[in-house]
Structure 1
Amino acid sequence: MSENRSEEVKMMEKKRFSVLLCAEDSEYVKKKYGGYFQVFVGMLAEEGEMWDRYRVTHGEFPEDGELEGYEGFVITGSCHDAHGNDVWICKLMDLLKKLDSMKKKVLGICFGCQILSRTLGGKTGRAINGWDIGATAINFCPSKLLSALQLPSTLPIIECHQDEILEPPPFAEVMASSEKTKVEIFRCGNNIMGIQGHPEYNKDILLNLAERLLQRDVIQSHHADAAKASLEEYELNQEAWKRLCRGFIKGKLELY
């Protein structure tokens, strides 16, 4: 077998995953981390995998014929509203309906969590308790998942959202909640999971984001101060979130 042919076979054997990028890279994240796509790849990717990026806000979507070749899809956060009707948002919802019908693994983060809920019949909108930015302790509902992944019943996560799921989709299971947010994690069957927080964020990313939001008058100074204080209060466990996200998107978790 020729060297080129051998390389093609290796590429075909690799499992493929896709990040549906709904956020614009900040200059800071681009310079320090290589962009949000690389942040997600750093959390989720393992040896022997291929990860593709589709900038859906720019109209980049996988073709229908490509969908079967992917093991799973991740929908990122966004500065856009999941209850909006931008052309790309409507097109994204159409894609998510197809993926659900194909029983493909789909993991939604923040905006991704909300748009998944909306697509499947839930309701999203402005958060009842206002902005949630900073580290927050979320409480898991009792399940076999906790023992399988050796997760504590309470686990801090970084939040940055002013929207939330007001009503989860019919037949959805709410897996975790917090003091401010009733739906922190939900799932539909074994192929759909939404996480309202940002398991991919570290403290540095949040602090820079909070500063940018403050400078643009998107949040007020007390929001930024509370976010900084919360990072001192809670010890993040990104390895636990990595186990959960990797286990789900790669089909290693039995959720029933």
Structure 2
Amino acid sequence: MVAVEAAARPSRRYALLMAAHDSEYVLKRYGGYLHVFVAAFGGAGEAWHLYRAVDGELPGPDDDIGAYDGFVISGSPHDAYGDDPWILRLCLLVRKLHAMRKRVLGVCFGHQLICRALGGRVRRAPSGWDVGVREVAIADAAAAAAPCRFLNALRERGQLPTRARITKIHQDEVWEVPEGAEVLASSDKTGVEMFRVGEHVLGIQGHPEYTMDILHSLVDRLLAAGSITVSFAEAVRRQVEATAPDREFWLKLCKSFLKAEEDQ
């Protein structure tokens, strides 16, 4: 386990469950994805612990998962519907955290894995890769069947737009949300851009944590691997030069969810 301790006695503790290995670029520029997530979602006086789920490392009894205030599951090049042992173990952990009503935030792969773990369906998107910056429609928090505190907190402060742009890089998608889940955002390409289960589970298909340089690095990697064409990569680069994500909003939303009792 790797830790970022912001205080001798942290006010809150979070666990980052990494479903991917650090790229050379992110290691060199940021020191690893842990620092990317802490910079995006972290705050003063908090402790963040990294578990490399992709390598089979998950919180165990000695780590006392009940002491964590929240968990974040990262993106991954792997398929959330795969049956790799570490993916199945991560699904089991999500079910346990759900039963304990612990806060769990999943981004991209994490969003899809939470869906699968709780009984929903995930599949390869028939429309192919979605890479770049995409505008999504945000559900009306005031019209929700059940109150959503972390969205209402933003709405009451005038920080909840009806539409927002987010960084995307995925080829799988949530096809059917788990029973009892509520879809919070959708786009013209992906039907479930964000969903929640109660106040303690949130999945986001996009990448609130990504900076534009990380996206460009990933596009370069996809191109080098032959996963996308030169023309596709060039189109993505032109699009992101002209359209920026509403990153500040997404970071506020994630913090509002992870730290619902705090004033953001």
Q: Please state if 1:34 is matched with 2:31.
A: yes
- 1:246 corresponds, among 242, 255, 258, to 255
Alpha-carbon RMSD: 1.4
Q: Please state if 1:155 is matched with 2:164.
A: yes
Aligned identity (percent) is: 45
SS of the aligned residue for 1:51 comes to strand
Q: Which residue of 1 aligns with 2:117?
A: 119
8 A contact 1:124–1:166 mirrored in 2: yes
Per mean C-alpha deviation after superposition, the further-off stretch among 134-143 and 63-72 is 63-72
Q: Which residue of 2 aligns with 1:59?
A: 56
1:15 deviates by: 1.2
- 2:128 corresponds, among 104, 127, 130, to 130
SS of the aligned residue for 1:211 comes to helix
C-alpha distance 24-13 of structure 1, shift in aligned 2 (>3 A):
closer
After TM superposition, the structure 1 = structure 2 runs for residues 130-209 of structure 1, keeping only pairs within 5 Å, are 130-144=128-142, 145=151, 147-148=155-156, 150-209=159-218
CA distance in structure 2 between the aligned counterparts of 1:127 and 1:252, rounded to whole angstroms:
36
Letter in 1 for 2:52: R
Task: After superposition, give the CA deviation of every residue in 1:199-239 in whole Å (9 maximum; x if it has no partner).
Answer: 00111110111011101111222331222122123222221
8 A contact 1:30–1:36 mirrored in 2: yes
After TM superposition, the structure 1 = structure 2 runs for residues 16-31 of structure 1, keeping only pairs within 5 Å, are 16-31=13-28
SS of the aligned residue for 2:94 comes to helix
8 A contact 1:21–1:53 mirrored in 2: yes
1:71 deviates by: 0.2
Q: Which runs of 5+ in 1 are unaligned?
A: 1-9
CA distance in structure 2 between the aligned counterparts of 1:165 and 1:129, rounded to whole angstroms:
13
Per mean C-alpha deviation after superposition, the further-off stretch among 100-109 and 214-223 is 214-223
Task: After superposition, give the CA deviation of every residue in 1:118-149 in whole Å (9 maximum; x if it has no partner).
Answer: 01111001012110000100110111425135
Q: Which runs of 5+ in 2 are unaligned?
A: 1-6, 143-150
Letter in 2 for 1:235: A
8 A contact 2:184–2:196 mirrored in 1: yes
1:13 deviates by: 4.8
Dislocated runs of 4+, deviation >6 Å: none
CA distance in structure 2 between the aligned counterparts of 1:175 and 1:231, rounded to whole angstroms:
24
Task: After superposition, give the CA deviation of every residue in 1:67-110 in whole Å (9 maximum; x if it has no partner).
Answer: 11100000000000000000000000110011000000000000
Count of residue pairs the alignment pairs up: 244
Letter in 2 for 1:134: G
CA distance in structure 2 between the aligned counterparts of 1:235 and 1:30, rounded to whole angstroms:
24
CA distance in structure 2 between the aligned counterparts of 1:181 and 1:252, rounded to whole angstroms:
31
